[in-house]
Amino acid sequence: MPFLLSTAAAAVEVKDLYQAKVPVNSQAKAERNRALKQALRAVIVKVSGQEAVVDNDLVKQAVAKPQQYLSQYTYERVASYSAKNEAVKNKLVLQAVFDENKINALFQQADLSLWGNLRPQVLLWLIEEQGLSRSILSSSSRSPLPDIATDYARQRGLPVIMPLMDLTDASQIQISDIWGRFAEPLRAASSRYYPEAIVVIRVSNSSLLSNIPQGEDEKDCILCQENNLILDWSLLTDNQVFGERRQSNDAGKLIEQALAEITQTIYQGYAQSPSNDNELLLDVANVDSLQTYMAVSQFLEKLSSVQSVRLVSARGTNRRFSLSLLGGRQALLASLKLNKLLQQHIDPLAEVRPDDVPVFYWGKS
């Protein structure tokens, strides 16, 4: 599923994929071992983009012995919010950094999908309804929900930003447009942020909650009585995807569940799926010096989904590379569309053939 909002769409290189922070009660050895297992599990979920990966037998074995993958760990005290919206100050956490090559090798050995470190920028419109009042939340709002959303997105390796809600935003979109999840006003108001995907999350204790399923009386809707909040979400890229409504009395938990589902949906468009199609020929134009050639080579080698790079041929300023991939060809090409250094050249008049070698321009074309 391609996620292409505009030619200027932004992508973010996630640099902390292979590290995680875990709250601890002390620096005792037993507590440290427990935290390292939890940290490795969190890293594997973040690298893969999906929760189900932890059920793999080889992953379970790895999590049981996290020291084999550990590069370093430190302790620090941080201030954070709990999922129940309660402020937690000076919490002791263990930060663990794991070896990228060993984690990637584990994924390859377990035949698991690998999400690259170049990921789409997501703009989150978070709107809260309390009674008859609706408000658009931003990072400067007094509500803890924006912090919960951005913290959890960071844990899942999903680059999320929120609108500033300054005079420009206020003049470009109405609350009713966001609440109604109307695509065109959302695209127009979001364009200043150059997102690759737009997300709307609605949290309500009134109008959404009052929509009792057809055929049920309110007194019979036990779920409605026990859970006084409801959340739903939509993801807008080239298409619009709507998530299911969820109910709870914990807004933070609802936000986290929604972002987990959104991450999984986006992941499917970019994950490096294991396959036999793990070799890719790639032409790069505008390579007019040794310095440029070295820059191109290093760029390709640093892609998390690329195992090795080999120069195949050189003609003029064109260089052909053979890439050995940790995942599939189409997934890598999808992730390359997010970067600004390589721009793919597509001749609309040329006959399209499945075996054509894709051509990219280095720098400006």
Nearest to 10 by CA among 296, 337, 365, 236: 337
CA dist 205 and 96 (Å) reads 39
Q: What is the mean pLDDT of each run of 10 residues along the chain (365 residues)?
A: 42 86 95 97 91 93 97 88 55 95 91 81 95 92 92 92 94 95 95 93 88 49 62 90 91 94 83 63 89 89 82 87 77 71 64 65 69
Which one-letter amino acid corresponds to residue 279?
E
Strand order in the sheet with 19-23: 19-23, 87-98, 70-81
Nearest residue to 56 via CA among 114, 17, 137: 114
First to last CA, the chain: 26
Q: Which residues of 175-214 are buried (b: 16+ CB within 10 A; e: fewer)?
A: eebbbebbeebbeebbeebebbbbbbbbbbbeebbeeeee
Q: What is the C-alpha separation between 114 and 99, in angstroms, rounded?
A: 15
Q: Which residues pair with 361 in a beta bridge?
A: 285, 343
Per-residue pLDDT, 327: 64
